[in-house]
Amino acid sequence: MGKRILVIEDDPGSRRCFDFLFEKEGYQVIVASNGLEGLRMARQDNPDILILDVMLPGLDGFEVCHRLRSEPATAKLPIIMLSAKGQDEDKVTALKVGANVFLAKPVDRQLLLNSVAGLLGEQREIN
C-alpha cells in the first residue's frame, strides 16, 4: 500500500468519497468521524498526511490542527483543511493554526489530489 492518509470528516458520504478517491490513487486511507477520534488516530497511527474538516463534533478542525502543531511528534504532519463555509476568515484561521493548505468544499478532485501529492513530495500528472 501507498502512503497513509488520515481523513477526519463527520459526513459519512464525504468519508466514502474520500476513501474511494484516495484508494483508487494507491493511498491507504484511515478515517475518523470526529475531532477527538481524529486527534487520537493522528497521534497513534502515524499518517503521512491529514485531510481535516473544519466543522466536526467534539473538537473542531481548528482545535485539532492547533493541538497537532503543538506536539513534537505531529508538528510537521502535512494538513489540508476543508470547509463547506469557505469564507476568508476560515482560511486565515486555518493557516494561522498551522494548516498547510485550505480548500473550500465542494473540493475539486484534481486540486485535492495535486495538493496531497505536493505535500507528500510526489510527482503527479496534472489532468
Q: What is the pLDDT of residues 20-55, one digit of tens each?
A: 999 999 999 999 999 999 999 999 999 999 999 999
13 falls within a domain? yes
81 falls within a domain? yes
Query: What is the model's pLDDT at position 87?
Result: 82
CA 94 to chain centre: 12
Structural domains of the chain, count: 1
User: How does strand 28-32 pair with strand 49-53?
Assistant: unpaired
Span between the terminal Cα atoms of the chain, in Å: 23
At 35, which CATH number? Answer: 3.40.50.2300
| Euclidean distance between CA atoms 114 and 56, whole angstroms | 24
Range of the domain at 71: 4-119
Q: Which of 15, 16, 22 is nearest to 1 (CA)?
A: 22
Predicted structure pTM score: 0.94
127 falls within a domain? no
pLDDT in tens, 62-100: 999 999 999 999 999 999 999 988 788 999 999 999 999
Radius of gyration, CA atoms only, the chain: 13
